[in-house]
Structure 1
Amino acid sequence: MIKVLARGALLSVLMASAAGCAFAQVAATTPAAVRAALDTQPTARGEAGKGVVVLTAQGPRIVATAGLGGIEVYDAAGRRLSSTPAGEAGSLDVRYDVAGQTGPVIVASDTTTNSLRFFALDDAALTEIGQPVPLGFAIEGVCLLRNTSDAGLYVIAVGDGGEVDQSLVYADASGKLTARQSRRIGLPSPAEHCVADDASGHIYVSEQAVGLWRFDGDPEADATPTLIDAPR
C-alpha cells in the first residue's frame, strides 16, 4: 500500500520531490505533523516500495514499485489501474520529452538482474520501450537528471557497494531506449537513495552510514561531493 501525503501529494516513499531539492541550513524547529490524505489499494503481489506522481493528459497517476509484483499504476484516488511485470522492481523515476516519446518515461531498477528498464506510460498502461541495461552491481536506487549544459538525460543508479553510476539515456538505431555509462563515482559505504534537481543540476545521494551528499550532475564536472546533512 502506498500512502499519499496531504499538502503536496508527496508519496511517503519519496526521498524528496524533483522540485524541492535545494537544501538550506535552517534553525531546528518542532517537526511538522504529516498525515496521509489517502492510501492506495494494496499491491496485487509483492511489497510496496518507491513511487512517483506522474502527470498525464488523463490526470495524475501514481506509479510505484511492488517488488516481485513489478510496477503498479494507480489513479489519484488510489485505485489500481494496472500491474506490469518488471522483474523485482526496486526504484524508479520519471521524466518527460525523452528521445521522441510523446508521454512520460519511467526508468526502473530490476534487482533480479541489477539492470535498468525503461517504460512509457500511456494513461494507465506501461509499455517497455528498451532492452534491460545491466550495471554489474546491486542497485539500491535510481533517479533521472536533465543536464542543462548538454540537454542530455542521465540516469543515476546507486549501489550497496557505494557506486554512483551516471549514464546517458538515448534511443538506439531501432528507436529503443538504452543507456551508456558516462562516469562512476565511488562512496566508501553503501548508497541507498538518490534524487536529482534539473534546475540546479545537482544530484543528492544518501550514504547510509554517513549522511546526504550533493554532487554536480554535469558528467564533465569535478566529482568531489559536498556533505550537506548527517545524522545528529
Structure 2
Amino acid sequence: MTVRTFTLAVAASALLAACATGEVDYQGEGEGFVGQGVPVRATLETPSVGTAGEDAADDPAIWASATPVTVNGVLTRGFVAGTDKKAGLYIYGLDGAVLQFLPEGLLNNVDLTDGLVVDGRPQIVLGASDRTPGKTGVALYLFDPAGTGDNPVRPWGALTSDVIEPYGFCFARRGSEVHAILVGHEGELRQFVLTADAAGRPVSRLVRRAEIGTISEGCAADEATDALYIAEENVGVWRYSLDPASGAARTLVQPIAPGVLVADAEGLTIIADGAARYLIGSSQGDSTFPVWRIDGAQPAYVGRFVVQDGAVDSVTGTDGFDALGGPVGDAFPEGLVVVQDDVNDTGTQNFKYIDWRDIRSALGL
C-alpha cells in the first residue's frame, strides 16, 4: 500500500467512524458474499449449538496439554471452550465432541489463561463476557489440569464492571500478573488485574478505563511485545500498549479497506509459529481472514484466507475465533485455528477446526 493510498483509507475510516452509531453490515456484494483469499479447508467441526434459529455461536478459546488430562470424565490432551451467546458455554474435545455444557446465560466472548494459583494449585482460568441482565461483567471459570475424577470446568465467580453490554474479552500476562481486558459494545475499554484471595475467590482491580470510540469487539494480546490489539468494527484494527498507564494512546494498524478488512471487523487472535507471530482478523463483511506478521518493528500484512468446502462445509460471517501454535493433540501437531461459522450446512451455527499448517502453506509463510 502506498502512502497516498493509506492516507485516503485512514481519512475514509475516520469519516465512517464519525457516522457510525451501531453495527454496519457490509452491503457491497450482498449477503453471503465471500471475498478473495487463498483457500483452506476445515478438517472437522463441532455439533450445532443448542440455540436454534438465532445468531448464537460466537467465540472459542483453545487450551492444549503436553500430557493427557481429564475433562468432565474424558481423557484428552486439550479442549476448546465455545460460547452460545443465547445460552452458555460449551467445552469441546479436540475431536469436536461436546465434553460439557454450562448453561450460564448470555456469554459472548471467551478466553483462557494459566498462571493463576487458586487454593494452592495452578489453575486454568476461563473468562467470558457476560451480558446476562443483573450479571454484566465477566463470568469466570476454573479448570484443574491435575484434577482427577470427573474434573469438569467449574464456575468461579465473576468480575463486575460498569459496562452496560460486555462484548469482547481477552486475557493477558504482564510479568506475574494476569490481566483481564473487557471491551464494551459501545467502545468501552476496561482492564483489570485478576487475583485470588486467601479463600480462593476471585478479586479484580480496575487499572485502565478508556474509550475506543464506536462499536468494538475483537481483542487479542501479544505479551511478547506488550501490545493489545482491538477491532473497532467499522473503523479498523488498533494497537494499544498492554501497559494500563498508556491509557487511550493507540496506533491504527489497518483501517477498513476493500480487499483487506471489510466492515464489520470482528474477532482477533494471535498465533506463535516458532519465532514468528501472526495477528489474524475476521473480515466479517466478506467472510475472509486477513493476517499480519507482528514480531517485527511494525505489523506487516501478509495476505488473507477463506475457508472453503472440504471434509466439512465452508465458513462465512465469522464472529469469533482462536488460534494456538505448537502441538494441539495428535491431529494438529503445529497448531490449530478454530472459527465460528454463522451458516452451517446442517443444523444451527457451530465451530470449525483448521490445521495451522494448511493456512501457513496456503499463505506461503
TM-score w.r.t. structure 2 length?
A: 0.52
Matched, 1:145 2:154: no
The Cα of 1:222 is off from its aligned counterpart by: 5.2
| Partner residue of 2:239 out of 187, 206, 214 | 214
* 1:1-232 correspondence runs (5 A): 31-45=37-51, 47-56=56-65, 57-58=68-69, 59-100=77-118, 101-112=121-132, 113-122=135-144, 125-148=152-175, 151-221=176-246, 223-232=248-257
Offset from partner CA, 1:39-73 (integer Å, 9 cap, x none): 11122346221001112442021110112321111
The Cα of 1:133 is off from its aligned counterpart by: 2.0
Residues in 2 aligned to 1:63 and 1:35: alpha-carbon distance in whole angstroms: 21
Taking only the aligned residue pairs, the percentage that are identical comes to: 26
Greater helix proportion: 2
- Amino acid in structure 2 at the alignment position of 1:140: Y
- Amino acid in structure 2 at the alignment position of 1:125: P
- Which structure has the larger Rg over C-alpha atoms? 2
Alignment check: 8 A CA contact 1:164 1:184 kept:
yes
Residues in 2 aligned to 1:129 and 1:34: alpha-carbon distance in whole angstroms: 38
Runs of 4+ in 1 over 6 A off after TM superposition: none
**What 5-or-longer segments of structure 1 have no aligned partner?**
1-29
Structure number with greater CO (CA < 8 Å, separation at least 6) is: 2
Alignment check: 8 A CA contact 1:119 1:126 kept:
yes
The Cα of 1:99 is off from its aligned counterpart by: 3.3
RMSD: 1.9
Alignment check: 8 A CA contact 2:163 2:188 kept:
no
Alignment check: 8 A CA contact 1:88 1:110 kept:
yes
Quickly say closer, same or farther: Cα 1:222–1:139, change in 2 above 3 A: closer
- Amino acid in structure 2 at the alignment position of 1:225: R
Residues in 1 aligned to 2:49 and 2:97: alpha-carbon distance in whole angstroms: 10
- Amino acid in structure 1 at the alignment position of 2:254: D
Alignment length, in residue pairs? 201
The 3-state SS of whatever aligns with 1:199 is helix
- Amino acid in structure 2 at the alignment position of 1:221: S
The Cα of 1:152 is off from its aligned counterpart by: 1.3
- Amino acid in structure 2 at the alignment position of 1:50: D
TM-score w.r.t. structure 1 length?
A: 0.80
The Cα of 1:183 is off from its aligned counterpart by: 1.0
